[in-house]
Structure 1
Amino acid sequence: MDLPGVPNALLDALRAASRELGCAHLAFVGGVVRDGLLHRRHGVAWRGVPDLDLVVEGDARQLALALQRICGSERLTACREHGSFGTVELCLDGVLLDLATARRESYPAPGENPVVQPGTLQADLVRRDFSINAMAFDLISGELIDPHGGQRALQKRSLELLHPGSISDDPTRVVRAARYAARLDFHLADDSLEQLRQTMERWPWRWSTRDVKGKAPPALSTRLRIELDRLLQREPWAEALSLLQGWSAMALVDPAMQDDLQWRQRLTGACRLRVPLLPSLLLGAADPLEVAKRLDLPGQQTKVLGQCRDLLAWLQEHAPPPGAPPSQWCRALEGSGWSAEAVVLAVCHRPAEWRLLLRWWGRWRHVRSPLTAAELIDAGWSPGPGLGAELSRLRLQRIDQEGR
């Protein structure tokens, strides 16, 4: 199986290291096998892969050490071990490799992190999400291993879950289904779609931070945020989010988001204004700040989302009256302590006053006093609070003159 951009010398080094250790199997797995077959057999353009996933029946760390001995530091320029996961990240001949020990998984409860143990290549394929991602190309035997009908699913352009409990074990597979369907133009198989619907109907968690017994496992919340980030950063997000909403699956994030009809407008605006997409999406939640904390958003994004929520509430009750001068808007926005990031995020939500918020963010906040502090001192002003107040007055005066 030829992979464009993968040097033969790299493949030879991997085979040599596996022979040295007597490994039974060393195989490419996952997306690289799927995309390679789509390219070779179905005429799909080869887009390349950011890294190559390999699974070894044996010890990934020992295989990495063997590669270091065979290739030396000139060819193997990076090697980082993740002991708790049995994986090693390598850079060999300029190609990034993720090398993992074959493992099997079991889920102690729905949505929790799996219990991982060493296993066979076949067991490693069983733990994957869809049949198109559960194929392997064995570098030792040259065999394409396809125990779950992945090639047939590629031909049908179908996403097929591997077992009846796939989604209840890991509900983030729903987000991955939307990602793959949008990117590859695949559809969810009928039985997989039925499994999704049944799982959503009996969704077991209420996601309330005030009800500990009703909370989803924290690990699931974090994994869900990671999958949403990947969807928004790497995929055709409009198509993927439409699929999630059509599957009634936005409730995985927050029930209110299932009925949110404004997400496309917000995210389109966020793209134009270069605003992070996930906080913009979460504005459709009943309590965006609560959802952000549950999903463990980065601290700055959570802070901005909380400020935006407060700003939107302030607009409903305390916004300056229609026809108020720009200086009044500047005093109100700048005196509140809201960040520029919170204001532009509110613009994406399109409140009635969004154009005024946009003018402040894009223009008014950058306006400076026509006179500098040094020029005012030369004119007789003394340093101190009065000088600052005069600079502010002159600035607001200029904004009113230029801002209408």
Structure 2
Amino acid sequence: MNNNLFSDEHVCTHLGDEYDRFHGAVVPPIYQNSLFVFKNFDDLTEAMKDEQSNYLYWRGMNPTVEIVEKKIAALEKGEKCKLFSSGMAAISSAILTFLQAGDHVLSISNIYGPTTKFFTYIEKFGVAHTNTLSTDLDVIESLIQPNTKVIYLESPTTMTFKLVNLKAVSTLAKQHGIKTIIDNTWATPLFQNPLTFGIDIVVHSVSKYLGGHSDLVGGALITSNEIMDHLFYHEYQLLGGVMPPYEAWLLMRGLRTLPIRMRAHHESGLKIASFLEDHSSVKKVHYPGLKSSPDYELGKQQLKGYSGLMSFELANNSFDSVRKVINSLKQFQIGVSWGGFESLVISPNYGNNTEHLINSGIDPGLIRISVGLENSDELMEDLSTALQQKLTV
């Protein structure tokens, strides 16, 4: 049966679990073995002809990992998924699969910091990179070069949470023979399916919402059979950033509650974004779920919901003001990452990088929060208390 006919809830709770195969176990086991043995050498040589479909070695296929890959591929409306040991392992593999010396990459708006650093890193291999802060299609097209092979984007974007028109960008890219890659971690497959808009590869940091419990690190790529056939035998196997089975089992556990958790993040996120928008100490809220967002109408076309990650700008945007607000929060823990059960807060303003922030289109008074699964009224009370601090310019 076509996996796309199943509901997200069914995919998360049952798809691929194959109870008969696993002796009726309601939770499939962890296959912790590093290799698989065969009855005879003929069976081994036959299996080696198609390592994507046969269990040979941990670095290729593993039954526990495979179950989760089937679930995520189905959720993203894609043909194949491969899991990686980190989000950056997935991102770097996706980018490298399309590139060689002399090529050019164009990235759109604010993207994850380590991804930008990776683009700088591969310059030593002869790959050029251009970034534009604009999401305007005409601007994007003007920056395409004859050797542009990849357009890389996030939507919503990092820190500023602007939306990119996925259909328009994918159409433009195809006109120029360019591949497109998107980091879809913010929305999860439940709220956005970029492949249906023509994007070539979808990336996830499964450490965030898909895992949901802040107890694993991993990444995922979802794409077509054709692209994955190449990627599997090159960037996936040769770079070796594969996900261990125990982490895959943790991820499987997290997926069981993903639909319920994302509904909660959606409801609390909208409630807290609206609260912040009305607060006198807040100049601006970056959250596409707000009707005041310039991307609200585009969001209704592309998104089926909104997660709990957002940012806001303080009216008094000095580093001292940012520091005071963050240090005054009690329910929001101070830490990197996001997407777990816990609420988190951070700022890109470290007290010595104001010029860099402004050049990146980020207000120095910006604070990012990840709304967790705590009581939303308690979270708003916490924010209200912190924002009442005497803030100085």
Scaled by the length of structure 1, the TM-score of the pair is 0.24
- Highest CA radius of gyration, 1 or 2? 1
Q: Which structure has greater helix proportion?
A: 1
Scaled by the length of structure 2, the TM-score of the pair is 0.24
Higher relative contact order (CA 8 A, sep 6+): 2
